[in-house]
Amino acid sequence: MLTKLFQIVRKKAFIGCSIILCSLLMMACKKGPVKEEMSFDSGSFHIVGDLQLPVGNGPHPVILFVHGDGPNSRTSGVTYPPIMERMQNAGYATFAWDKPGTGESTGTIDRSKLFEQRTQIVLDAINLIKQHPNIDPARIGLWGISQAGYIMPLVLTKTRDIHFMIAISCPGCAGVDQGAYLASKQAVCAGLPEEQAREVEALFSAVERARTYEEYVGYKEQLLAFPELMVLEEQGVRMSIRPREEWHMDDLEGNYYWNPMDVIEQTTIPVLAVFGGKDTQVDPIQGKNAYEEALHKAGNSHYQVELIPGTDHNILISETGCISERMNRSRAGWSNYPEEYLDLIEEWLGGLDL
């Protein structure tokens, strides 16, 4: 009797273990996104990044990530993965890289050649990704944020390989005007009355457009009358008046004065543009209106422009949108996207007919 009972228990235990083992094997064999490290050279830069392929057989459409300003890695901390996951859910591969001097990429961007060098990096990334056997070269798109709003339009002027674009918090004006908005809004964050923001913004723009040293000094002295602007010194903006020997008249035709809407108003590929309602770095109202007007002028039949209330420059849920709040944000806060934003990206990509 005991021997028979032991055999029954052992048989049930074996069956139970077999079920668990099969479950584990099924989980192990279940295919998920595949990550592949890729590298390429762009001028003097050696660029390293990750290509992530979605579930299913290729070739897949792919989205290249174009960073904003400053140092940035292929994941941008914790900010890119939630977005990439939604893209992969929609059947798209993603390719993002470490910017020069960040992560495994080498070199340093020359600020005097910033637009040219950053544009070339994207073009070289496109040439690399087109050769991948699991990528469809006829379905390459761009996702970019902030400063990418200047780089992506330049890329569009140099290649026909881009078939759609997602622009996040991208300026709808020249860099000089975007910088003036940013400066005035940070002053508001520091206590400047909102009704004086436009005056300060106009003065910042006038400083950058001054044609003589005397004109520059006059506008600068008016700015220095606002004590709230001293917060900008902490953020790396030089507020003091430059000596005559350090001042020079800028070329008003340079990149800092170029309006990317000149390209967008000729862009007919599908475009999704998204702005955060509390953005204090790029004017969300002006940007939204500029993109809508430019894409309408282009006769673009597949575009969508959205403003998401309660979100900042990164489309993260925010109380103020101020840079000071962003600097104090916890790591968890850097992935605090509203579902509306992530749903929008996945649904828009799912609706593309490329």
CB neighbours of residue 202 within 10 Å: 15
Q: Is the pLDDT assigned to residue 306 strictly greater than 50?
A: yes
- Enter the pTM of the model: 0.88
- pLDDT on residue 331: 86
Residues ≥6 apart with Cβ < 8 Å to 11: none
Q: Which of 34-48, 165-179, 236-250, 261-275 has the lowest mean pLDDT?
A: 236-250
pLDDT in tens, 98-137: 999 999 999 999 998 999 999 999 999 999 999 999 999 9
Residues ≥6 apart with Cβ < 8 Å to 312: 276, 278, 279, 280, 318, 321, 325, 326
* Percent of the chain at pLDDT exceeding 70: 91
Q: Categorize the per-residue pLDDT at 32 as very low, low, confident or very high, splitting at 50, 70 and 90.
A: low
DSSP string for 284-319: HHHHHHHHHHHHHHTT-SSEEEEEETTB-TTS-B-S
- pLDDT on residue 332: 86
| Domain ranges across the chain | 34-173+259-350, 175-246
Contact criterion met (CB below 8 Å) for 171 and 282: yes
Q: Categorize the per-residue pLDDT at 47 as very low, low, confident or very high, splitting at 50, 70 and 90.
A: very high
Using DSSP's 3-state secondary structure scheme, residue 343 falls into: helix
Q: Categorize the per-residue pLDDT at 251 as very low, low, confident or very high, splitting at 50, 70 and 90.
A: low
Task: Give start and end residues of each alpha helix (H) in 30-166.
Answer: 80-89, 114-129, 148-158
Q: Which two tokens stand for residue 82?
A: 């939630």
Q: Is the pLDDT assigned to residue 29 strictly greater than 60?
A: no
Measured over all CA atoms, what is the biggest interatomic distance in the chain, rounded to whole angstroms?
108
Contact criterion met (CB below 8 Å) for 48 and 128: no
Of the chain, the end-to-end C-alpha distance in Å amounts to: 71
Q: Which residues pair with 317 in a beta bridge?
A: 311
> In the chain, which ranges are E strands?
34-42, 45-53, 60-66, 93-97, 135-145, 162-168, 271-276, 303-308
Mean pLDDT across the chain, nearest whole number? 90
What is the assigned CATH class of domain 34-173+259-350? alpha beta
In the β-sheet with 34-42, what is the strand arrangement from edge to edge?
34-42, 45-53, 93-97, 60-66, 135-145, 162-168, 271-276, 303-308
Q: Is the pLDDT assigned to residue 293 strictly greater than 50?
A: yes
CB neighbours of residue 55 within 10 Å: 13
Q: Is the pLDDT assigned to residue 9 strictly greater than 60?
A: no
Q: Categorize the per-residue pLDDT at 253 as very low, low, confident or very high, splitting at 50, 70 and 90.
A: confident
pLDDT in tens, 182-200: 999 999 999 999 889 999 9
C-alpha distances (whole Å) from 91 to each of 60, 86, 88, 133, 346 are 7, 9, 5, 16, 9
Rounded to 10 deg, the angle between the 175-189 and 197-208 helix axes is 140
| Mean pLDDT score, 276-293 | 98
Residues ≥6 apart with Cβ < 8 Å to 56: 91
